[in-house]
Amino acid sequence: MTKAKESDYRVVYTTEAGALCPECKRPRAKCGCAEARKLEIRGDGNVRVRRETNGRGGKTVTTIAGLALNQTELQALLKDLKRVCGAGGALKDGVLEIQGDHCDLILRELGRRGVKAKRAGG
């Protein structure tokens, strides 16, 4: 019978390093997956600005989808657009949401920044 090497086994559970990242199987303290996700670009480049009220209790929200920017750049753009519109907003799954109906103002601001954007919806 041959003796098994340590490399022949995979770690199923260990208390040595704590929680492991499900993607890279490294300890969460040494994992770089979260930082890599922040740098990945989500949008397709077809920027669409739309006014929505569905599922928001009758409140109007302007959404900007399709921006080909990473998470950090999206957050910076959101901060600038909130300041220009004088309204609150949020970033959800790569889609910028600005409270209120600011489609025309956002289209103008994006055009000034060199982003081709289209108005979507009605």
Tell me the pLDDT tens digit for each residue of 27-69.
Answer: 777 777 767 666 666 666 789 999 998 888 889 999 999 888 8
Strands 95-99 vs 89-92: parallel, antiparallel or unpaired: antiparallel
Q: Are residues 49 and 91 in the same domain?
A: yes
Q: Is 100 left (phi over 0), alpha (psi -120 to 50) or beta?
A: left
Edge-to-edge strands, sheet with 117-119: 89-92, 95-99, 61-65, 47-52, 117-119
pTM of the full structure: 0.68
Confidence of residue 21 (pLDDT cuts 50, 70, 90): confident
Domain that holds residue 33: 11-40
Task: Select the more confidently predicted residue: 117 or 6.
Answer: 117
Residues 6+ apart with CB under 8 A from 71: 37, 38, 39, 40, 42, 91
60 and 76 belong to one structural domain? yes
Q: How many C-beta atoms surround the C-beta of residue 78 within 10 A?
A: 18
Q: Is residue 4 domain-resident?
A: no
Assign residue 72 the CATH number of its domain.
Answer: 3.30.780.10
| b/e per residue 97-122 (b: at least 16 CB within 10 A) | bbbbbbbebbbebbeeeebebeebee
- Whether 6 is covered by a domain: the verdict is no
